[in-house]
Amino acid sequence: MGDTLRLLQHDFISSIPTVIFVIILLIILERLFFRPVAAVMEKRREGSRGAEERAREETEAAKNRSREYEAALQAARIEVYNFRQSERNKTLAEHETALKAARERADVLVKNAQTTLASEVSAAKQQLEASCQALAAEITERILADGARPKQA
């Protein structure tokens, strides 16, 4: 067992320079490679997080703008509907006014025509009555004139 310990001791002592070399190599790799790579990776993570944050913020802002746009669009639709409704009501009122005025003019024309017709009928009746009396007088005169003549056989 003594030989084994001596061999182990010899191996241990001979491995010290290798261990020191590995430790120095790890320190050099840590300073020259792992730290810069870790720094770059951290910057990337921060950049990714920042990009994700900006993307979330922009998405939220886009959603807000979309809601505002929808609200503005709805308000515009309501405004257009109200304008069209008021214009329709205005047009209907104008139409009703024009229709009422036309009816009133038609009533006046009908009344004037009825008055004119009534006066013409009255004048025609008077003329007819006068004509009837003149005709009756003429018929009477002829009958009397024929009756006063002797009858010829």
For the chain, which residues make up each domain, given as ranges?
16-109
Confidence of residue 59 (pLDDT cuts 50, 70, 90): very high
State the chain's mean pLDDT as an integer.
89
Angstrom distance (rounded) from CA 11 to CA 127: 163
| Residue 106 structure tokens | 């038609």
Asked whether the whole model's pTM tops 0.75, one would answer no
Q: What is the pLDDT of residue 147?
A: 64
The residue count of the chain comes to 153
Q: What is the pLDDT of residue 13?
A: 87
Q: What is the pLDDT of residue 149?
A: 60
**Residue 1 DSSP code:** -
Alpha carbons within 13 angstroms on the beta-carbon side of residue 32 total 6
Angstrom distance (rounded) from CA 19 to CA 99: 113
Judged against a pLDDT cut of 70, whether residue 150 lies above it is answered with no
| Residue 53 structure tokens | 């944050």
Angstrom distance (rounded) from CA 103 to CA 108: 9
**What's the whole-number mean pLDDT along residues 129-152?**
80
